[in-house]
Amino acid sequence: MYNIDFSKPISIHFIGIGGISMSGLAEILADRGFPISGSDTKKSPLTESLERKGVTVYYGQSASNITDSVQLVVYTAAIHEDNPELLAAKTKKIPCMTRASLLGQIMKNYELPIAISGTHGKTTTTSMISEILLSADMDPTLSIGGILKSIDGNIRIGASSYFVTEACEYTNSFLSFFPKVSLILNIEEDHMDFFKDIEQIRDSFHRFAKLLPKDGTLIINGDIKGIDAIISDLECNIITYGSKPEFDYFPKDITYDSLARPSYTLCRSPKASQRNADSEETAPKVTLGVTGEHNVLNSLAAIALADLLGISLETVKRALLSFHGTDRRFELKGKLGEITILDDYAHHPTEIKATLQAAEKYPHKEIWCVFQPHTYTRTKAFLSDFATALSLADHVVLTDIYAAREKNTIGISSMDLLKELEKLGADCHYFPSFDEIENFLLENCSQGDLLITMGAGDVVNIGEKLLGM
């Protein structure tokens, strides 16, 4: 394993520098005086931002991008062994490192690295925590898997001991990390192109939890099935939150306003209350600026961390109320006449269900969901679950599957999902092109309807084109 001496900047090249995490790590190192270059397939706001900060970005990946000045190459899990830049680096015997290993080494430079993991909700919860730390003037360094409006990007470089990052289980990436505080939001089946089954995923999260030192802390959702197998042999401090009174943090009396934003009574165990006894409120009311019951649980995780760090409840409540989400998380894109258009990143059945349940509480006549399945393996693994979740919408429109890092070697298509939806009696349509989908929506959506573009690919372009963005 190559170890970076952060006091001696070297020239580093990032393969796939336009990725949400890679761009952030590149910016952190550039700020520390490292000469940075990188490549990606096309321009984006993230690559253009890096270029403005002096980073050299190549568009298109070629062996010639690995110049003689490059001393280290960083790559993501999406980069294959036959990538021309990776091959060139190995031919030149330049050290190569995964994105996760680099992030782990960066974490070692901070006294309090905080890692947020889970199958769902990482970006939103990381953003909630970020807003709380910023409101408390704690000057954190932040690495977020989405665009947070309050920092106008996905990265913030602070001068304090706090470093906050998302921790993804895919390819066991988070096992390269060195957290002092970890959060586990939930554990479900996903990334079945890498994991064999749910037990292998649970084992991965267990190993992640065991990375914590004895004086570290795990904040974990107590509703996770079989939680004892995750926490029973840990030596660190453990804080639980969830839906039941048996946990350290739980909500009561959840209500919603006209835009589906929840309020609830925050309940804390005596142990949790003693941890941060700055508030005289015995049953404080918390109101969120984001929608959905799933975000009640996300906010509980953020509150538990804030208590651990000694942040006042008033500061926490103010930050949670002012946080209105990151890009592509139940994001209001605009109105086409009286048709409201939202966009959401949901690409797993659990996420789709949570988003559509939130939409039910949002003003609407009928709900239209334009869904873009993400990866062939995920579509096949959860085919019936996708159909069940999507059937919560009044109308479903399917795009082709967004391949991402995969090739279709398993013979799955959106037509298979269409058939599953038809079995459930859902009103469902499929079109092979975005133009056809846009025309269909213009002809069929009515005033007062709610249109949600949904998926982790480029489906957002449909709503933006309809709005003339």
Of 76, 119, 123, 326, which residue is the catalytic one? 123
In the chain, the amino acid numbered 281 is E
Distance CA 67, CA 219 (A): 44
Distance CA 321, CA 313 (A): 12
Per the DSSP assignment, residues forming a β-bridge with 271 are: none
Per the DSSP assignment, residues forming a β-bridge with 117 are: 167, 184
Angle at 83 between CA 78 and CA 87, to 5 degrees: 130
Q: Is 122 a catalytic residue?
A: yes
Tokens representing 239 are 């804080």
* Residue of 399, 419, 408, 389 whose CA lies nearest to 120: 389
Q: Is 281 a catalytic residue?
A: no
Of 122, 317, 333, 380, which residue is the catalytic one? 122
Task: Go through 243-259 and write b for each residue having 16 or more CB atoms within 10 A of its CB, e for each that does not.
Answer: beeebbbbbeeeebeee
Q: Beta strand pairing status for 285-287 and 262-268?
A: antiparallel
3-class secondary structure, 39: strand
- 88 CB neighbour count, 10 Å cutoff: 20
Tokens representing 28 are 């952190």
Q: Is 166 a catalytic residue?
A: yes
DSSP conformation class of 244? S
Of 27, 85, 131, 166, which residue is the catalytic one? 166
Where do we find the tokens 């103010």? 318
Run of H or E residues at 48: helix 45-52
Catalytic residues: 122-123, 166
